[in-house]
Amino acid sequence: MKYRKIGKTELEVSEISLGCWTMGGLSWVNGNANGWANVDEDEVIAGIKAALDAGVNHFDNADVYGNGRAERMLARALNKLGVRSDSVVIATKVGHFPGTAAHAYEPAHIRHQCEQSLTNLQRDHIDIYYFHHGSFGPHLEDAAATLDALVAAGKVRVKGQSAYSTADFEMAIPVVRPAALQSWAHALDDQFLRPGARLQELMTEWGCTFVAFSPLAQGRLLDKYDPTRPPDFDPGDHRLGSHAFSAEALAALKPKLEALKARFGPSTEDLSAVAQRYILNLDHVACVIPGFRNERQVKCNLSAVNRELSPDDMDFIRETLR
């Protein structure tokens, strides 16, 4: 496993890290499905063990994943495996769970959620604390000041900003001054990272690095779905009703995945490794954070550790998936 720095900080994370959203199980936020079905804690713990054994040192969590359940499960897993929590890098986020506040970025709510995340994670500090989205409303300045105060108090080591548009990053970065940026990046959509992207310029200017979520396009890049029998997700699973998993979208993707298999190998390991290395080869990327539900998925995704892609391979993937 190789490790890369977060921004200009001393924090180093494994190229292949782990996303913890799945660990929240089925859940709803403000009435909207925001979870994953059929998550078994013992299977998750076996996955975490396999990851740690391979050198994974960074776990990406959030208050909203299962409304605290994913943070508590991560703490239980590390305890059960006899791993000192401060020997790994734990990231969590605030922003999508408003509780009873009018806005999740009200300073009192941020302070409360930080304390609750520390309790859930059984820790006295958070290694990377993200604002989970860029919709600050009137709270950008006071939220940023609150995060600075949490750093000064030793409760947060490194600041992060997650967002879903370049405009939101452009607005937040100069005020929040995060070392870690987070958004989606996968071979089907690398808009934030492709050469010439505005976010690349911003990361150079502000000394940030990028943590890439959904590197597997939530499984779509693994050729695991049959377009003639599209998946029927459970209520509470956020993928239910998503066009990306419809018969039509999966059928359009299928020949592209066949082309990748013909060049790079037919196994799920090959597809997973290629998908993740594609993102890791882009400028400013610190790590990918694939989600997982069991040991089999984690071990499969770790096949990216030793995979290399040439510039020709990168062009082939880009052209095939556009």
Q: Which residues bind ligand NAP (CB under 6 A)?
A: 19-22, 36, 60, 132, 162, 182, 213-219, 222, 224, 268, 272, 289-293, 297, 300-301
Q: Do 208 and 179 form a contact (C-beta atoms < 8 A)?
A: yes
Cβ proximity to ligand NAP: between 164 and 316 the closer is: 164
Instruction: Report how far residue 63's alpha carbon sits from residue 286's, in angstroms, rounded to the nearest whole number.
Output: 22
Residue in the shown chain whose Cβ atom is closest to ligand NAP: 19
Residue 178 or 215 having the CB closest to ligand NAP: 215
**Residue 48 in contact with residue 77, Cβ under 8 Å?**
yes
**Whole-number minimum distance, CB 214 to ligand NAP, in Å?**
4
* Alpha-carbon 146 to chain mean position: 24
Minimal distance, residue 289 CB to ligand NAP, in Å:
5
Question: ∠ CA(241), CA(242), CA(248), 5° rounding?
Answer: 100
Which of 153/246 has CB closer to ligand NAP? 246
CB 304 within 8 A of CB 229: no
- The Cβ of residue 236 has, within 10 Å, a number of other Cβ atoms equal to 16
CB 165, min distance to ligand NAP, A: 12
Q: At its nearest, how many Å lie between ligand NAP and the CB of residue 218? A: 4
Identify which of residues 20 and 26 has a Cβ nearer to ligand NAP in the complex: 20
Identify which of residues 125 and 245 has a Cβ nearer to ligand NAP in the complex. Answer: 245
Q: What is the DSSP string of 36-84?
A: -SS--HHHHHHHHHHHHHTT--EEE--TTTTTTHHHHHHHHHHHHTT--
d(CA 318, CA 281) in angstroms, rounded, equals: 12
- Which residue's CB is nearer to ligand NAP, number 131 or number 202? 131
Q: Which residues pair with 229 in a beta bridge?
A: 226
To the nearest whole angstrom, how small is the minimum distance from the Cβ of residue 138 to ligand NAP? 22
Closest distance of CB 161 from ligand NAP, Å? 10
